[in-house]
Structure 1
Amino acid sequence: MKMICAIIKPFKLDDVRSALSSLGIDGMTVSEVKGFGRQKGHTELYRGAEYQVDFLPKIKLEIAAQSEDVERVIETITEAAGTGKIGDGKIFVFDLLQTVRIRTGERDVEAI
């Protein structure tokens, strides 16, 4: 099993969620986060004063998936979240050693 962590632009969340649902991915955790990469933030103007925004709003998705589904999930996220512009995000994949559903005690694939 793998844990897929994707950092995407906020306005792409609905597109990504719909695309993953069509793959049969039923569950994910979504968090509002802030960060920057090569984008390095930007300058904004507020009431005539210019200020630097170093951390940009992003969405973090966490998805537990079976190992054989990982490439399809990555391709789906890439297609749905991509704009072709800087700041589209990143996808990280980690090994998931164990999963337990608290309510039933089911483990691993059955718990997903």
Structure 2
Amino acid sequence: MLLVRAIVRPEKSGYVMKEAAEAGFQAVTKMDVFGRGKQKGIQVGEIYYDEIPKEMLMFFCNDEDKDDLVKVILRTAKTGEGNFGDGRIFISPVEDAYTISSGKQGL
């Protein structure tokens, strides 16, 4: 079982979620986050933006479904030819999961 975290532009998150659901990945957690990547923020005129607004989408999937989910995220989160700040995907192993209402183990 894996946790796939995608940090994307806010204007792309709805599209990523829609396409992921259509590909069979309906369950998602979405959070507003702020940060910067390798570009170290953005300077517009004399104003320097150190923290850029993004949205983090968290999906859980089985190991064998990872590549399908990553392809959906890469295809839908990218802007045009790809720009700085389009985001990043992180994949981490998950030891176990339980549904609170039923106590059921797994996804």
TM-score by length of 1: 0.88
Aligned length: 105
* Partner Cα distance (1:6, 1:35) in 2: 13
Which region of structure 1 is more displaced relative to structure 2, 50-59 or 95-104? 50-59
The runs of at least 4 consecutive aligned structure 1 residues that moved more than 6 Å come to: none
| Percent identity (aligned) | 30
Partner of 2:31: 31
Q: Is the radius of gyration larger for structure 1 or structure 2?
A: 1
CA apart distance, 1:44: 4.0
* Partner Cα distance (1:74, 1:52) in 2: 32
* Partner Cα distance (2:35, 2:92) in 1: 20
The amino acid of 2:9's aligned partner reads: K
1:55 matches 2:29: no
CA apart distance, 1:14: 1.3
Q: For residues 1-112 of structure 1, what are the structure 2 equivalents within 5 Å?
A: 1-44=1-44, 50-83=46-79, 84-108=82-106, 112=107
Any unmatched runs of 5+ in structure 2?
A: none
Cα RMSD over matched residues?
Answer: 1.1
Any unmatched runs of 5+ in structure 1?
A: none
